[in-house]
Copies of this chain bind each other. A is one copy, B any other.
Amino acid sequence: MKILDQRLLPDQVKFITVKDAAGTAKATKDMALRGAPLIGCAAAFGFALELRRLKPRSAGDLEKIAGKTADLLKAARPTAVALFYAADRMEAFARKFAAAHPGKYAPAALKGLLSAVDKEARLVTTEDEKACLDMGNYGAALLPKNCVIMTHCNAGALATMGIGTAVGVITAAHKKGKIKHAYSCETRPYLQGARLTIWELMREGVPSELLTDNMAAHIIKTCGVNAIVVGADRIASNGDTANKIGTYGLAVIAKHHKVPFYVAAPTPTIDMKARDGDAIIIEERSCEEVTFVKGKRIAPKGVRVRHPAFDVTPAGLITALITEKGVISPVTRGNIIKNLAN
């Protein structure tokens, strides 16, 4: 599997070749690969690659490998639930296959298994692609004419297998002539907004400007921002949403300015097992990602640093959730359950 190394963007377009689940997990952990839906799709293919490498000899062997592989993939990052969704789905698919095909696997049976698993992984991907298009349409319909929109982090084509979630909403609305201007917050410390989102917006011809995260409130107050849209890494069953660090502050600022705050994410992002935001584990990443920018030190040696990679925005601050199944507003557990049943 070839993975675009997003750490090098926009300077270099370079691919990493990954041959198994461990390679996929490493690329995910090291952030060569990022974006909740994309992490899920990569995990599905990482799972398929691992079976191809280990060639299960029996149903029992397949079950053992499936469990271990899913665990290995899920350990890469703790917050994005799309990773868990995809790994669990592939494991369940493999176990179902094992149940239907007990005993030892002759070469023909193995070939059938690998082909079926590949197909399932591709299905995860095509579902994500379609979900992006649907979210784009649902989201674009929510936006006003001459919309001045802001987004945070990268929930674009690079974060998914399709047109993106939040950025997909912006580009879909742009194609309908509804976007007057888009602002991308740079998104420290990893600068996904500066490196990825603004690059995508420029490529799509969306009139856009980059700002540092701390300019958001001033720009919202003075530049007529009338919508904010972000993606999500995990949404609890009540609508509390974990997304890239900075999302929560932006939601608070949006509320103060009475600007609608939208979260666009496919339904695999919704974790019905998480009662609310408190149940979501927030990944704490390394200090060096804060104190070094492109290899250059920006803070004193010995400095103590916080680096929560995500924060939780309470459902009450979210105007609507946009999934591939429609718009959830107000954001409540009841409305989420209804949406999932669509």
Residues of A within 8 A of B (CB): 10-11, 152, 183, 185-189, 191, 194-195, 198-199, 202, 208-219, 221, 245-246, 248-250, 252-253, 255-256, 290-291, 293-300, 302-308, 311-312
Instruction: Report how many copies the assembly holds.
Output: 2
Residues of B within 8 A of A252 (CB): 217, 252-253, 256
| Contact status A298-B218, CB under 8 Å | no
**Taking the nearest CB of chain B, how far is it from the CB of A320, in angstroms?**
20
Which of A10, A198, A199, A248 has the most CB atoms of chain B within a 10 A radius of its CB? A248
A10 to B217, CA, bound (A): 29
| Bound Cα distance A246, B218 (Å) | 8
| Closest Cβ–Cβ distance, residue A291 to chain B (whole Å) | 8
Find out whether the CB atom of A304 lies under 8 angstroms from the CB atom of B210: yes
Question: Residue on B with the closest CB to A213?
Answer: B214
CB distance from A48 to the nearest CB of B (A): 34
From B183, B218, B246, give the contact of A308 (CB < 8 A).
Answer: B218
| Contacting pair A211 B306 (CB below 8 A) | yes
| Residue pair B209, A306 in contact (C-beta under 8 Å) | yes
Knowing A214-B185, A217-B311 touch, does A294 contact B304 (C-beta < 8 A)?
no
Q: Which residues of B lie under 8 Å from residue A152 when comparing CB positions?
A: 214
Tell which of B191, B294, B298 touches A195, judged by Cβ atoms closer than 8 Å. Answer: B298
Partner of A198, one of B185, B212, B245, B300: B300
CB-nearest residue of chain B relative to A191?
A: B298
A188-B213, A202-B302 given. 16 additional CB < 8 A pairs? A10-B299, A189-B212, A194-B299, A198-B303, A202-B300, A209-B305, A210-B299, A210-B305, A212-B290, A213-B213, A213-B246, A217-B248, A218-B245, A218-B249, A295-B296, A296-B296
- Report 17 cross-chain contacts, Cβ distance below 8 Å, ordered by A residue: A186-B299, A191-B298, A194-B298, A195-B299, A198-B299, A202-B302, A209-B304, A209-B305, A212-B290, A213-B213, A215-B246, A218-B249, A218-B308, A252-B253, A252-B256, A256-B256, A295-B296
CB neighbours of A183 from chain B (8 A): 306
B298 touches A217 (CB 8 A): no
Which residues of chain B have C-beta atoms less than 8 A from A248's C-beta? 217-218, 221
Nearest chain-B residue to A11 (Cβ)?
A: B297
A291-B297 Cα distance, complex, nearest whole Å: 16
